[in-house]
A and B are shown apart, each in its own frame.
Chain A
Amino acid sequence: MLYREAGDFSTTYPQDSQTFPIKFDRYRYYAVLAIAFGIIPFVINDYWANAVFVPFLIYAIAAIGLNILTGYCGQVSLGTGAFMAVGAYSCYKLMTAFPEVSMLIHIPLSGLITAGVVTLFGLPSLRIKGFYLAVATLAAQFFLVWLFNKVGWFYNYSASGQISAPERDVFGIIVTGPNTEAWAKYLICLLFVTACALAARNLTRGMTGRSWMAIRDMDIAAEIIGVNPLKAKLTAFAVSGFFVGIAGALFFSVYLGAAEVGESFGIDKSFLVLFMIIIGGLGSIFGSFAGAAFMVLLPVFLKNVFVGGLGWPTDLAAHLQFIVSGGLIVMFLILEPHGLAQLWRIAKEKLRLWPFPH
């Protein structure tokens, strides 16, 4: 009954090619946006912003970025953590060098810088494929982390080697630094998530996205039918880098406030984002959100159950968290290799016929 396209006629080309062609889906999307922009900012408090919403939104951007590279273009990357660090450090340098410029300019700029760096590390993908490439991106991971640790210029020669976000604003509203209100943090992340998701969704539906998918499915065949692998692969790296860079900039400036590169942007981050897109679903924008929500909520949930509910020591809870998240990942891969996005698709199919499935 829901999700039914009967009676929903497209009379113009723009109607026919819109992002959500089914009316119910479209209204659901508007409703989600209305709740996210209109209601949550008024009821959000510090705990929910810091523990759930802000990390979820930021990881969603990173997951979209990695999904473009891995899910749509088929290039496995294990360097996401370091690429986020590039975003964070360029944001820090921009923030300290141009204090009076709005964050709305700094963050996309850091995204652009990251896009450049990631494209550089994407160059070997033209020669190296599959796991060899995945391991090659580890070179980026370790080299960049080392670089940010060793070269003082990146952290403005601060004594601790840390970078910490100074207070900056958007149209007079403080969005970084210790005095930020919860709703301001939430809204700036939401703003970027919406823009990124919209851009990603439309990129992947068009010419660019189709050439990425052709490369993913079989690069030699794609080359024969006229897809330029150089262009397709490097644009995937660049676009992915742009999103990941934005995520890194937000992660450092809005969420963490102060960051040490090895701790905040280590290899664990790379795997975390990779888990998100695998659990969410490769090659799906919705999946990036679902995976990010899952991986952000899981530790919060487990901690509440084990430490809050059962009163066990925190180190025990940490071990159990490893066990449970590892086990869940394996279980997901066995039961539904295409991730939460596939479950969503199945649910939609079922809902179309419900309540008369025959």
Chain B
Amino acid sequence: MPDQLLFAMEVTLNGLMAGVLYALVALGFVLIYKASGIFNYAQGVMALFSAMTLVGIMDGQIPFAHLINAMFGTDLHHFGWHVPALAAILLTVVVMVVFAWLVQVVIFRHLVNQEPILLFMATIGLAYFLEGFGDLMWGAEIKKLDVGLPQGINDWIDLTTFETFGYGFFIDNLDISATIVAVILVAGLIVFSQYTKQGRALRAVADDHQAALSVGISLNYIWVLVWSVAGFVALIAGIMWGAKSGVQFSLSLIALKALPVLMLGGFTSIPGAIVGGLIIGVGEKLFEFLIGPMVGGATENWFAYVLALLFLVFRPQGLFGEKIIERV
């Protein structure tokens, strides 16, 4: 096989893996949008915050150490213990559930029936708040996150492809585990929404708020639940991205990458988020590989948006979105 084709195949595979990670973030968006009609811009910052919390708990950092030091002139930084990864993840989940509850009680309970644009703005405000809060709580420096996932090149794929094609593919172990985790997560979500009482209630709310209320489903409870689930998804995304490139501010920007995924897949569709993520992941990697060198590179910044934009002109509700029906 010619080299170019092999490279392209490798790029495609890597794109698929990146796409899975985009889809993970997009999934959190879709969950909240379906259940409450809120377009949650803070999803990316939630991923960052949960990853920071996880690292903070694992390393035994003292929360707000920087602030306390500034106020009282002390020199605190660590408790001096290390929490095992699994326990830390469970604690972080608890933190995210409390966060979901707080968000619901403090913000969105007061904004019921407001216009979508105001809800969207509120989530941007929330994103700013959470970003500052996370930095204040755990410090703004780049942190290493290691929960014991395998890292580095996958030797088996490298060897096998080298034997078959004469060229070893570079696939990161981390990407493979991310894909596996994502598949498990999606399967779990499907089981949750199809077979549990809470999951069914969630789907009912997503279908029709008033009908759900009339059969006795508590909207407040469901909204806390869905924000918690979104927080959990954010945590998974935060772990994957954090393990890949360190826990730092740029993590919150993946939310922006998830937006074109959503546009492509449709805001209301979970399969759409996954397929959209894969298309964007492969598309931007291939475009960068094939066209990028001709126009000066770094096309990954905008390609996803332009692709989604062009796509939407032909199909305004996205790939799997519900058909938009408008009445006067």
Contact B110 A143 (CB under 8 A): no
Interface of B is mostly: helix
Q: Would B328 and A267 count as touching, CB distance under 8 A?
A: no
Stretch of A31-39, A103-111, A162-170, A329-337 contacting B (4+ beta carbons < 8 Å): A329-337
Instruction: Chain B residues near A221: list those with CB within 8 A.
Output: 328
A142, A325, A326, A337: the one contacting B305 at CB < 8 Å is: A142
A320 partner residues in chain B, CB cutoff 8 A: 132, 136
Which residues B71-130 have CB closer than 8 A to chain A?
71, 107, 110-111, 114-118, 120-122, 124-130
Interface of chain A, main secondary structure: helix
The residue among A131, A139, A282, A322 with the most chain B CB atoms within 10 A of its own CB is A139
Interface size class of B (residues with CB under 8 A): 35 or more
Kindly provide the distance from the CB of B76 to the nearest chain A CB, expressed in whole angstroms.
Answer: 14
Candidates A124, A146, A282, A325; contact of B299 at CB < 8 Å: A146
A323 contacts B by Cβ under 8 Å: yes
What are the residues of chain B within 8 A of A29 when measuring CB–CB?
none
One digit per residue, 1 when the CB lies within 8 angstroms of any chain B CB and 0 when it does not, for chain A 65-83 equals: 0000010000010000000
The reply to whether the CB of A150 lies closer than 8 angstroms to some CB of chain B is yes
Q: Do A322 and B125 touch across chains, with their CB atoms under 8 A apart?
A: no
In the bound complex, residues from chain B placing their C-beta under 8 Å from that of A124 are 309, 312-313
Nearest-neighbour CB distance to chain B for A326, whole angstroms, equals 3
Contact with A along B291-319 (1 / 0, CB 8 A): 00001111101100110110011001110
Known contacts A319-B136, A334-B111; is-contact A135 B259 (Cβ 8 Å):
yes
- A139/B298 in contact, CB under 8 A: no
Q: What is the minimal beta-carbon distance from B278 to any residue of chain A, in angstroms?
A: 18
Contact A319 B132 (CB under 8 A): yes
Q: Are B301 and A135 in contact (CB under 8 A)?
A: no
Q: Contacts A127-B313, A143-B302, A330-B107 known; A135 to B295 CB distance under 8 Å? A: no
Tell me whether A138 is interfacial, beta carbon within 8 Å: yes
Among the listed B70, B71, B107, B256, which residue makes an inter-chain contact with A138, where contact means beta carbons less than 8 Å apart? B256
B125 contacts A329, CB within 8 Å?
yes
Q: Is B131 an interface residue (CB 8 A)?
A: yes
Q: Is A136 at the interface (CB under 8 A from chain B)?
A: yes
A132-B263, A316-B70 as given contacts; A146 in contact with B136, CB under 8 Å = no
Of the candidates B116, B126, B129, B256, which one forms a contact with A267 in the assembled complex, judged by CB atoms under 8 Å apart?
B256
Chain A proximity of B210: nearest CB distance (Å): 21
Is A101 at the interface (CB under 8 A from chain B)?
no
In the docked arrangement, what's the CA distance between A146 and B288, Å?
A: 13
- Check: A51 CB closer than 8 A to any chain B CB: no
Nearest B residue to A222, CB-CB: B328
The reply to whether A143 and B313 contact each other, CB–CB distance below 8 Å, is no
Extra contacts besides A135-B259, A145-B301, A320-B136 (5): CB < 8 Å: A128-B312, A132-B317, A142-B301, A142-B305, A323-B136
Residues of chain A whose beta carbon lies under 8 Å from any beta carbon of chain B: 70, 76, 124, 127-132, 134-136, 138-139, 141-143, 145-146, 149-151, 218, 220-221, 224, 267, 271, 274-275, 278, 282, 312-313, 315-316, 318-330, 333-334, 337
Q: What are 29 A-B interface contacts by the 8 Å CB criterion?
A: A129-B316, A130-B116, A132-B317, A135-B263, A135-B308, A136-B263, A138-B259, A139-B260, A139-B305, A139-B306, A146-B301, A146-B302, A150-B295, A150-B296, A151-B296, A267-B256, A274-B124, A275-B121, A312-B71, A316-B66, A319-B136, A326-B126, A326-B129, A327-B129, A329-B122, A330-B126, A330-B129, A334-B122, A337-B115
